[in-house]
Amino acid sequence: MKSLSEIETTSKRATKAMGFSWGIAEEVGKNIRLLELFGFPGIKNLNEYYKSRRISKFETINLINEKNNSQKFPFCPITLGVSFLDQVRNLEKFSKIIFNKISYPLLILPFLSRSSEILGKKIHLKLDQHEFLLNLNVTISSNLHHEECPIITNITEINIIENKDNFSNDDWENLYKISEETFVDESESLKQGAAGAGLTDND
């Protein structure tokens, strides 16, 4: 079994060999490590994308807007992911971000997962009928199961989820009342002991 360190290093070198900068290669190495750690086929998808890249063309994207349409070719998932990570603070203002075609979209997952950590917010990703919930770069849940992730998506939707409690105010108030049973009034002796604590010279 290959170690995560081997996976990261080989992915980084392969990315550089494909013509990307060392900076982007470093990012891809970290990303494939994350995908494999989370149980997704990162090595397989990266390998297949690079095979396809040798014979096909892909569009790059620099500035991401609410709606992003490729002009002729599918978006490159790596340059798209790097752009998203770089612009994530500005993209936070959009309720929904849409792309029409992304090649090997599984490769954007770790970019979004890391973006979730930066923002401190969950991100919901929909790749056609496949859905993912990215939770602060700690977990990724999905309905993908053991199906193959699509090679090219028709519609990709990204939603940055605003933070809110998962419980009602009534549930919180009831639990807080129970917690108050641990509160006790300080006795005079405890107060006096606390007041003099640390003042005695033991040397």
pLDDT digits (tens, 9 = 90+) for 75-91: 999 999 999 999 999 99
- Whether residue 24 contacts residue 15, with contact meaning beta carbons closer than 8 Å, is answered with yes
Domain presence at residue 102: yes
- Which carries the bigger pLDDT value, residue 194 or residue 48? 48
Domain presence at residue 124: yes
Instruction: Give the other-Cβ count within 10 Å of 77's Cβ.
Output: 25
State how many domains the chain has: 1
Domain presence at residue 78: yes
Domain presence at residue 176: no
Question: Which structural domain range is residue 129 located in?
Answer: 4-160
Domain presence at residue 141: yes
Domain presence at residue 29: yes
pLDDT digits (tens, 9 = 90+) for 29-42: 999 999 999 999 99
Instruction: Give the other-Cβ count within 10 Å of 117's Cβ.
Output: 15
**DSSP SS3 for 185:** coil
Domain presence at residue 92: yes
Domain presence at residue 166: no
pLDDT digits (tens, 9 = 90+) for 161-199: 999 999 999 999 999 999 998 886 555 555 666 655 555
